[in-house]
Amino acid sequence: MKVALGSDHGGYEIKEEIKEYLEEAEVEYKDFGTFSTDSVDYPDIAIPVAEAVSKREYDRGILVCGTGIGMSITANKFKGVRAALCHDLFSAKATRAHNDSNVLTMGERVVGKGLALEIVKVWLGTEFDGGRHQRRINKIKEL
């Protein structure tokens, strides 16, 4: 699995933690920035990450900002991208199983590093259930 990872300044610390985890877990990834806590505009990071997932250059994307909301709004503009804002383990599991979400967004001002990492692990490790859920996704694809 190849993961496209990114954050703005508001999500930088958690992005760095996720990077460490992906390295330990030997998951292939690319860091699309940002590379410091200097202020940047979240769409400048969300756009290349979502584009890479949309073009299937990467299997999944993970985006972190202050709230996770700006990243989610931006990523969901891209064809084939199903970005899910998750701040709890139940949603992280359910959105993989039911929505086949391919981008995870989180807010560093909402969750702590510990929970964020657990969300990443559950989200990366949960398979799509298919079946009736595929039918529902097909309806989104038609839009």
Residues found near ligand RB5 in the complex (CB under 6 A): 8, 10, 42, 65-67, 69-70
**Pairwise CA distance, residues 11 & 53, whole Å:** 20
Provide DSSP, 36-87: SSS---HHHHHHHHHHHHHTTSSSEEEEEESSSHHHHHHHTTSTT--EEE-S
Nearer to ligand RB5, 42 or 123 (CB): 42
Q: Determine whether 133 is an active site residue.
A: no
65, 86, 87, 133: which one is catalytic?
65
Q: Determine whether 9 is an active site residue.
A: no
Nearer to ligand RB5, 65 or 116 (CB): 65
> What is the closest distance, in whole angstroms, from the C-beta atom of residue 27 to ligand RB5 in the complex?
24
In 3-state terms, what secondary structure has residue 31? strand
Query: What residues are labeled active site?
Result: 65, 98
